[in-house]
Amino acid sequence: MFTIETETKGLNEAMSLFAKETKKGIEDVIEQQTGMIVGHLIAMTPPGASKGQAMGKTGAITNVAKKRGEGRIKADIATLFPTTATREPKAWGMIENGHLWKTSMGPRKVLEYASSLHDLRRVHQFARSRKTGRVRTGLNAQNMALTTKALRNAYAKQKIKKVGMLNAGWLRAAEKVKTAKRSLPVWITRHHKKPGDAIYKRSRHGLAITVSNRMPYFPRDIDARMQRAVERRERGIAKKLKEMAERKAKRANQRMKR
């Protein structure tokens, strides 16, 4: 687990002004906006894109992200497991003789043959980065394994069911801060609540809400993704305030014309 601090000065000022203009309690505004931020965080957490490309107009994650995640898993597995129609005993003999196998990286000496889903799972887990979840084939293909096309397809089918699990680390926080249901698609909620939380803390300075996702692996740019989620909400409040000011000015003009 690691901690990321985002710059929230602009957001805090925007929320304070929004509470004043709408005549709502500041704590209600903080909770509402935090709920929306968690929705943005879900959308920017893989398989969501770092700059919100898989995010709808409301800031909610879309099925584009799901398809993106499934495609990435299939690509990783295809890279890690070149297939062959050669039967296992003969394949092992060719491996021992240093045969060059066709892989996505060109001809390589692959050192292992995966003959079961258990073998594929073991090889895959060893090849995955604990920090990012992405696979590493090794400079000399030492993390790769030959297998059959049928076994590789069956394994990929198992793994794509896990798409959305990293996002599910935000579900506990989403429940507490009342994130809108549109930000919580079934392909994420099916994983149930993974480690994470939202902690409310009140002091003489007011209410502070700390949200967390304690899943063990994240992309290297997760801090930038979180900052973008905060900045998106800040811009959203600024847009609302502008619309409110424009409506107020329009009503004032109409009164003057009477």
Under 8 Å between Cβ of 1 and 194? no
Helix axes 149-160, 63-80, angle to 10 degrees: 150
**Model confidence over 198-222: pLDDT tens digits?**
999 999 888 999 999 999 888 889 9
Please indicate whether residue 132 or residue 91 has the higher confidence score (pLDDT).
Answer: 91
Q: What percent of the chain has pLDDT over 70?
A: 98
User: Six-digit token pair at 206?
Assistant: 């007011």
Please indicate whether residue 256 or residue 25 has the higher confidence score (pLDDT).
Answer: 25
For the cut 50, the answer to whether the pLDDT of residue 80 exceeds it is: yes
For the cut 50, the answer to whether the pLDDT of residue 1 exceeds it is: no
Strand 106-108 relative to strand 101-103, pairing: antiparallel
Angle, alpha carbons 91-92-95 (nearest 5°):
90
pTM: 0.87
Mean pLDDT of 66-93: 95
